Amino acid sequence: MVIKDAKFICSNTKAEQCPQTTLPEYAFIGRSNVGKSSLINMLTGRLKLAKTSSFPGKTQLINHFLINEQWYLVDLPGYGWAKVSKESREKWGKMIKYYLQNRPNLACVLVLIDSRLPPQKPDLDFMEMLGTMGVPFVLIFTKIDKQSGQKTDANIAAYMKTLEETWEELPLYMKSSSTTRQGREEVLAFIEEVNKR
């Protein structure tokens, strides 16, 4: 897919304030620092479309970007900040759950996972939530330039083994690097394919 146009539309905290649309949308989410903003900027070819390195305490917003006037890319607030209060975590949980349950045009959630780490509980818990809600998702293993391909593949294999313990069917996964732009075509081709369904 060629990205001809990518524009910021709005930031909200509630699903019903998000654009009223029948266009499909794809939501990107992951633990803080996983490389979500960098990936969104890499995919859209816009250096500062998504703000990198947001910090805890900042208002957590659902950001909508319209791509090629065809689909929405949604930047969801990340989870897993070490020093975030229980209250903030609960607020995040409520907002995300409400969003996931109230966007009938949500085609897929792309869960970003740091390819260098063993499975992390916040990620596994989030996938569990998606599964319970019946929301389709895929995984993107990020920052693959930071280690050898062999190491990345070994980590992913270990990850899949962990998922096998709870999931009957393993999710589709892709690998990415915002530095080398690896994975860009694959992620965009995936979105294009789902858009055709």
Write out the residues near ligand GDP by the rule CB under 6 A: 30, 32-38, 52-54, 78, 142-143, 145-146, 177-179
Q: In the bound complex, what is the minimum distance in angstroms from residue 43's beta carbon to ligand GDP?
A: 12
Q: In the bound complex, what is the minimum distance in angstroms from residue 190's beta carbon to ligand GDP?
A: 18
Q: Which is nearer to ligand GDP, 37 or 60 (CB)?
A: 37
Dist CA 82 CA 69 (whole Å): 37
Dist CA 70 CA 97 (whole Å): 25
Dist CA 43 CA 70 (whole Å): 15
Tell me the residue number closest to ligand GDP, measured at CB: 35
Tokens of 41: 């900027």
Dist CA 39 CA 186 (whole Å): 13
Q: In the bound complex, what is the minimum distance in angstroms from residue 42's beta carbon to ligand GDP?
A: 8
**Where does 134-175 have alpha helices with state H?**
149-164
Determine the residue type at 61: L
Q: Which is nearer to ligand GDP, 21 or 33 (CB)?
A: 33
Q: In the bound complex, what is the minimum distance in angstroms from residue 16's beta carbon to ligand GDP?
A: 25
* 93 alpha-carbon distance from chain centroid: 15
Q: Which is nearer to ligand GDP, 142 or 155 (CB)?
A: 142
Q: Which is nearer to ligand GDP, 32 or 70 (CB)?
A: 32
In sequence order, which residues have a C-beta less than 8 Å from that of residue 149 and are 6 or more positions away? none
Q: In the bound complex, what is the minimum distance in angstroms from residue 47's beta carbon to ligand GDP?
A: 12
Q: Which of 70, 77, 99 is nearest to 194 (CA)?
A: 70
Q: Which of 44, 111, 42 is nearest to 71 (CA)?
A: 44
* 33 alpha-carbon distance from chain centroid: 12
Q: Which is nearer to ligand GDP, 4 or 151 (CB)?
A: 151
Q: Which is nearer to ligand GDP, 105 or 153 (CB)?
A: 153
Q: In the bound complex, what is the minimum distance in angstroms from residue 194's beta carbon to ligand GDP?
A: 23
